[in-house]
Amino acid sequence: MSAFEPAITQNSLIDGIATVFGEDRARRVTEAPHQAKRSWAEIQQICDTALQDGRSFIEIEPGNLLWGARAELGDEVLAEVVETATMFPRSQFGSSQGLMAMHDGMNAPPSAWLVSSEARFAVLEEDLMIYRVVSYDAFAADRGQGRTISILDQDWPILVTSGGRTYDFSRRFVYDVVFGFETVQSCIDGLFGFADELERAPELELGSRASAKPQVWTVTSKDEALQLASRGDIDRGDLVAVPADLLAELVGAEIAASITDNPAVLVVGEFKDHVPKTGASE
């Protein structure tokens, strides 16, 4: 990974926008002040009942269904889950086994669920299976004043309208309910909140490709590197190419070890932050 890639992420988080050359699209990082409400009490209930009776079922809210089953009844309960899912025009299926196989850092694994240790251990050992079916239509909402959520059969199926604008959102929000155990109503609140943040966000101001493309500088010696680091007339968004062995001498082996490219390509601003600005030979 090149050293300028973390800088792009940092600029995105600080400024809301960063330019990536070689791509014909802009990306914006937007954070909405929404704290998800999750159905841990219902998860605990479904686990307790299934551990005692072999199987369990609960409808957390309309279109949000949850099953639990001991391993020996897993196939029987799964058949019921599949049959129920066909009753909805559009639905998303999920299971505890699928969650563990995903290795998705966005959703907590069973070991981190806010349920009893007995329930966590049973799910981790696959002695207890958790199945989930969520209807996409459960996310449809009308809050009045033109604030609506509708569902369409397309790649980004969630359409949120707010403030006269419509935004397409991905299935990732549905996955937060299926695998992250957020409630549907909480997710709806989050979708509207996210749309509000997008509405308030300033328009992206992108320079033309020809004028915005950074200049690439090359240094091959320590003197050249120190002189470039001392210059004040170079844009911090430009790039600098440095041989790997020279980079290690300039910034230390620990930082250089994280950069596999040779020569390494760094953002000038980051290069200047790490390289001393004095000490060049006269």
pLDDT tens digits along 28-47: 667 778 889 999 999 999 99
pLDDT of residue 132: 95
Assign 264 to helix, strand or coil. strand
Percent residues over pLDDT 90 in the chain:
49
Position 50: which residue type?
A
pLDDT-derived band at 1 (thresholds 50, 70, 90) equals: very low
Give the whole-angstrom CA distance, residue 24 versus residue 225.
32
Higher-confidence position of 118 and 234: 118
pLDDT of residue 19: 53
Give the whole-angstrom CA distance, residue 4 versus residue 270.
8
As a whole number, mean pLDDT of residues 129-134 equals 96
Q: Are strands 158-162 and 264-267 parallel, antiparallel or unpaired?
A: unpaired
Q: Is the pLDDT of residue 12 over 60?
A: no
The two tokens of residue 137 are 């239509």
The two tokens of residue 74 are 């897993």
The two tokens of residue 58 are 């609960």
Q: Is the pLDDT of residue 79 over 70?
A: yes
pLDDT-derived band at 112 (thresholds 50, 70, 90) equals: very high
Percent residues over pLDDT 70 in the chain:
80
The dihedral over CA atoms of 14, 166, 33, 184, expressed in degrees to the nearest 10, equals: -140
pLDDT-derived band at 130 (thresholds 50, 70, 90) equals: very high
The answer to whether 194 and 32 have CB atoms below 8 angstroms apart is yes
As a whole number, mean pLDDT of residues 95-123 equals 91
- pTM for the full model? 0.64
pLDDT of residue 18: 52
- Give the chain's largest Cα–Cα span: 83
As a whole number, mean pLDDT of residues 45-50 equals 97
As a whole number, mean pLDDT of residues 214-220 equals 85
As a whole number, mean pLDDT of residues 254-263 equals 63
pLDDT-derived band at 255 (thresholds 50, 70, 90) equals: low
* Four-residue CA torsion sign, 224, 227, 231, 236: positive
* Four-residue CA torsion sign, 267, 273, 276, 280: positive
Interacting residues of 43 by C-beta distance below 8 A, sequence separation 6+: 66, 113, 115, 119, 130, 181
Q: Is the pLDDT of residue 2 over 70?
A: no
The two tokens of residue 280 are 């060049």
pLDDT tens digits along 236-251: 888 888 887 887 777 7
Number of neighbouring beta carbons within 10 Å of residue 163? 13
Domain boundaries, the chain: 4-26+207-274, 40-200
The two tokens of residue 42 are 């219902």
pLDDT of residue 280: 43
Token pair 């440095």 is found at 242
